[in-house]
Amino acid sequence: MFRNNIIIVMANTVSGLLNNIQYASAVVAEKAATSQIEKIIQEYFMLHIQIHVDIHKNS
């Protein structure tokens, strides 16, 4: 009986560790995606500003 309890505790510990790893991976992936989105938005605005500058130069 005691041995079965130890196995259950060990299994729960491994399960908890795996959940922590999955959560950490999700956080890293989300930060990477957010960073990419921010970069795309910055590039869009830079392009937008450049278009306005070019329009004013040519008018």
Query: How many structural domains compose the chain?
Result: 1
Q: What distance separates the 2 farthest-apart alpha carbons in the chain? A: 87
49 lies in a domain?
A: yes
7 lies in a domain?
A: no
Q: Domain of 44?
A: 12-58
- pLDDT per residue over 18-57, tens digit each? 999 999 999 999 999 999 999 999 999 999 999 988 888 8
3 lies in a domain?
A: no
1 lies in a domain?
A: no
Give the pLDDT confidence score for residue 42 in this predicted structure: 94
Residue with more model confidence, 4 or 18: 18
35 lies in a domain?
A: yes
Give the pLDDT confidence score for residue 10 in this predicted structure: 84
2 lies in a domain?
A: no
Give the pLDDT confidence score for residue 34 in this predicted structure: 93
Give the pLDDT confidence score for residue 1 in this predicted structure: 65
5 lies in a domain?
A: no
Please give the backbone phi and psi of residue 2, each rounded to the nearest 5 degrees, phi first. -60, -40
Beta-strand runs (E) in the chain: none
